[in-house]
Amino acid sequence: MAKTSVVERGKKRVKQYAKYNDKRQKLKAVVYSVDASHDEKQKAQLQLQKLPRNSARIRQRNRCRVCGRPRAFNRLTGLCRMHMRGAVMKGFIPGMHKDSW
């Protein structure tokens, strides 16, 4: 089980990303635009740098919905390997079963 503080910090980053995403996308569009002047691009870059670091998507970490484990995360189910194995064994995930050969 991950520390509660770390999980809550991740939730806070998700909220910040949602809050600043539109502004970040508009500023990036100006920075990468071919039509924008050098001064416009420079101003947009400075405004981008002033945004909170935790508002960037890259700062988020995928975590297991049950325990908050950051490693061995499966995107399809949203679970870590241990909880996914248990869910598969109990038949909670349709179409998946324990392999035996």
pLDDT in tens, 4-18: 999 999 999 999 999
Task: Examine the domain organization and report whether 1 and 29 are in the same domain.
Answer: yes
Give the contacts of 87 (CB within 8 A, at least 6 positions apart). 77, 79, 93
The structural domain count of the chain equals: 2
Inform me whether the pLDDT recorded for 46 exceeds 90: yes
Inform me whether the pLDDT recorded for 52 exceeds 80: yes
Q: Which helix (H) or strand (E) holds 5?
A: helix 4-32
Q: Given this model, what pLDDT does residue 1 score? A: 81
Q: Is the pTM of the predicted complex or chain greater than 0.85?
A: no
CA–CA distance, 87 with 47 (Å, rounded to integer): 46
Task: Examine the domain organization and report whether 87 and 46 are in the same domain.
Answer: no
Task: Examine the domain organization and report whether 1 and 48 are in the same domain.
Answer: yes
